[in-house]
Chains A and B, each alone.
Chain A
Amino acid sequence: NAGVTQTPKFQVLKTGQSMTLQCAQDMNHNSMYWYRQDPGMGLRLIYYSASEGTTDKGEVPNGYNVSRLNKREFSLRLESAAPSQTSVYFCASSDHRTTFLSPLHFGNGTRLTVT
């Protein structure tokens, strides 16, 4: 059981370049999330998708777009990367159909550096 798989693991971009982070989960969860982690700030929500076909902005959505391709896959796109987007990105999923107490299950993270 792979859980949440995100790719790539590492990426270096130049300012202005674009890229897409891929995420897939095999736990049949309805909700998927993208977080960024910066030192001393914990994790901050970028976008989430409560169910297939829906997406919503989180706390720090500027500079990002997302696509919920199907129930399994949720991608994050940086159209024009900026140094402020240097961070570690985590994809996560959860199943809130029966209880909001369902925990987040995380992928292993993507370390992105924008020069």
Chain B
Amino acid sequence: AQKITQTQPGMFVQEKEAVTLDCTYDTSDQSYGLFWYKQPSSGEMIFLIYQGSYDEQNATEGRYSLNFQKARKSANLVISASQLGDSAMYFCAMRADNYGQNFVFGPGTRLSVLP
């Protein structure tokens, strides 16, 4: 079975500081991808970053980076230099190559950036 765990229901961070949002996953597949999405209060789902299981280097996209630790089955999202606009729900998701078309999502972490 595929499962995503996000153990932090809510997080606070001071503006301009870095923050790490945790994500652990469970899969027996060797080939899979991990994805992070942002959902602001307006409701839309915004794709941020992804990491393939065979990628040796951690993915980065601007202020977002993915701290991928395969042996620990974790794929934490790191946001550097937090901005007020980063306040949102963040979802970790996984898709395994042998798991058909489904993306499995975690329950999300609500991040609040304080001025």
A104 contacts B47, CB within 8 Å?
Answer: yes
Q: Which residues of B contact A (CB under 8 A)?
A: 4, 31, 33, 35, 37, 43-45, 47, 50, 52, 91, 93, 95, 97, 100-103, 105-108
A31 contacts B52, CB within 8 Å?
Answer: no
What class of interface size applies to chain A in its complex with B? 20 to 34
Q: Which residues of A contact B (CB under 8 A)?
A: 31, 33, 40-45, 48, 50, 56, 58-59, 88, 90, 92, 96, 100-101, 103-106, 108-109, 111
User: When A and B form their complex, what is the total count of cross-chain residue pairs whose Cβ atoms lie within 8 Å?
Assistant: 57
B108 contacts A42, CB within 8 Å?
Answer: yes
| Nearest 3 CB-CB pairings of A with B | A42-B105, A106-B45, A101-B33
Known: A43-B91, A106-B44. 17 other contacts (CB 8 A): A33-B103, A41-B107, A43-B105, A45-B102, A45-B103, A48-B101, A56-B101, A59-B102, A92-B45, A101-B50, A101-B95, A103-B35, A103-B50, A104-B45, A104-B47, A104-B93, A108-B44
